[in-house]
Chain A
Amino acid sequence: AQTVTQSQPEMSVQEAETVTLSCTYDTSESDYYLFWYKQPPSRQMILVIRQEAYKQQNATENRFSVNFQKAAKSFSLKISDSQLGDAAMYFCAYLEFNAGKSTFGDGTTLTVKP
């Protein structure tokens, strides 16, 4: 079974600074997809960014970017110019290409200090 590990239960960053959240995963598959979701205190799950495993280029979405290292099975999220609204729990997720199931990590709670 695939596993997703987020080794940082909590992280904090100063407003306007940059922070990187770590995610590693274990799989024997070659085709899969990776996602980062954000869960603010409202409890709503929001997609932040996605990465296709067959693409070597790292995905970017405005202030959010990933560092995807397929050989190392690592998928970290970098948040630049952190804002107070970025404070949330962040989940890394793995999607199995054929089965369609998503596996989530345990989450990282990000605090943004003003």
Chain B
Amino acid sequence: NAGVTQTPKFQVLKTGQSMTLQCAQDMNHEYMSWYRQDPGMGLRLIHYSVGAGITDQGEVPNGYNVSRSTTEDFPLRLLSAAPSQTSVYFCASRFGGPTSPLHFGNGTRLTVT
């Protein structure tokens, strides 16, 4: 049982480059989300999805795109990387029921130079 799998674990980008952070879960969770974690600022919600074909913006969506074509996958796209996007990114999923806790991936450390 793999849980939530994020790739890559580390990435260095130059300003203006684009890339996709991958997230896959094998628990048949309806809800998936992306957070970024900056020092001293906790986790901030970027985008989330309550099911295949449905996505919505979180607290800090600018500069990021998402899609949810399948239940299992929820990729996060950086359109034109900026140094302000240097952060650790977490993907998380859970069942639709409100008491279900989030299951997190191991994170991706992204550095934009």
Contact = CB atoms under 8 A, between A and B. Distances in A.
Interface string A92-107: 0101010011111111
10 contacts: A9-B40, A37-B101, A45-B92, A45-B102, A47-B101, A52-B99, A97-B98, A100-B96, A101-B33, A104-B42
Interface of A: 1, 6, 9, 31-33, 35, 37, 43-45, 47, 50, 52, 91, 93, 95, 97, 100-107
A102 B103 CA distance: 12
B101 A50 contact: yes
Contacts, number: 54
Tier of interface size on chain B: 20 to 34
Given A43-B88, A45-B102, A104 B43 contact: yes
Contacts of A106: 40-42
Contacts of A43: 88, 106-107
Contact of B58 (A47, A91, A101): A101
B82 interface: no
Contact of A102 (B41, B102, B106): B102
